[in-house]
Amino acid sequence: MQQPPLPAYEIAGRLNDAISTHPTTIVTAPPGAGKSTVLPLTILESMKAKGGGKIIMLEPRRLAAIQIAARMAATIGEPVGKTVGYRVRFDTKVSETTRIEVLTEGIMTRMLIDDPRWTEPTSSSSTSFTSGASTPTRHSPLQDRRSRL
């Protein structure tokens, strides 16, 4: 039985356009829409056309991080750890060719503490992609530069 395409496919092109012009992009959609599994792969394809890069995704739970990485790897027909990998407590599957890493928040915190390159972010080198079920309610100085899809 063929499943219908996830709703995230419908906005993938617009998301890539928004990311190229806005430093912060917020995507809101219900659970199961493909925010975590579809959009990072389409963003990666767009990044390849512009010279490459790496995507780091945060997931609050180890099991979710592992499952999301496995789903993305299966989607592109590769083993986990090649293009898509993960880092969770007590388990890591990444390689030199990994371009999407799914991390837990604890691993990201450790990376930030251990790597001095993360102490001085620059606006030209940082682009963030946030996915979630709701948009922020507070006004932020960046709000006028955000693109909402």
Could you tell me which residues come within 8 angstroms of residue 22 by beta carbon, excluding any fewer than 6 positions away? 145, 146, 147
Looking at residue 139, what is its pLDDT?
A: 37
Q: What is the pLDDT of residue 82?
A: 98
The pTM score is: 0.75
pLDDT given at position 137: 37
Mean pLDDT by 10 residues, the chain (149 residues): 78 88 85 92 88 90 97 97 97 96 93 78 49 42 46
Task: Give the span between the Cα atoms of 61 and 103, in whole angstroms.
Answer: 9
Structure confidence at residue 127 (pLDDT) = 47
The H-or-E segment that residue 103 falls in is: strand 100-104
pLDDT of residue 102: 97
Please report the pLDDT score of residue 117 as a whole number: 78
pLDDT of residue 128: 53
